[in-house]
Structure 1
Amino acid sequence: MHNQSDLIYRYDGSFDGLLCCVFESYEKKEIPMDILLPDTSQPLLFSVKEIPTDLQKASRVLASIPKKLGTVALNFVRHAFLTCLVQKELNILLFLRLGYRHGPSVINMLTNGRGEYTL
């Protein structure tokens, strides 16, 4: 079972870095409370875990997305990464986790609440 942990991921802000956050989340069986950029300067109440960018891990995650979720989901994730939305990284991670569980149908799950992502 995957639990939301009391930690925050920090990554370098690159798409490959975000994919490494997804890898870390699966490997450690944890869901971070948030994913922050390196220049976040606010004081934090929770532990921060630095996620280094590893191109091999990023490549593994990138290759898995079209295989398990479809190319539409991959394009969706790429476009979502380019937005300026608050907590886009965390929402992308949660979307991918949901997609790995439900497959290509995840792209049509428009009414899914955030609660199901963390199961």
Structure 2
Amino acid sequence: MTKRGSVRVAWIFSIIGIVTTPVLLFFELVMWFLAAMVGAEPSNTDFVRVLFVIIVVAIALAALVCPLIAIFSQRATGPLVIAGITLAGWLVAQLYFVGMAVGVCSFEGCFPA
């Protein structure tokens, strides 16, 4: 009976992860732009800048939690595939966000410097 419950938990977290991860990635992108605007304002202290970076990292980790729980809760094939696709999308989004921060990527795509 515990194995069946564990499979159910894996399915629940994989479905929650595939639904919430894109939404959280959108909020993370918005927070990146907000952090850039706050960071460009000379009247803001370093504490405020660091606080916005911490918020962005927390949103990124929140988007990562559900797929990881689905992967580590049970080795059922369906939840692993769904969580793997979600994690791959999360990783691509993080690389894109880093590329945007460095200046290699934009909304039109990524181009070598």
TM-score, structure 1 normalization = 0.30
Greater share of residues in strand: 1
Greater share of residues in helix: 2
Q: Which has the larger radius of gyration?
A: 2
Q: Which has the higher contact order (CA 8 A, sep 6+)?
A: 2
TM-score, structure 2 normalization = 0.31
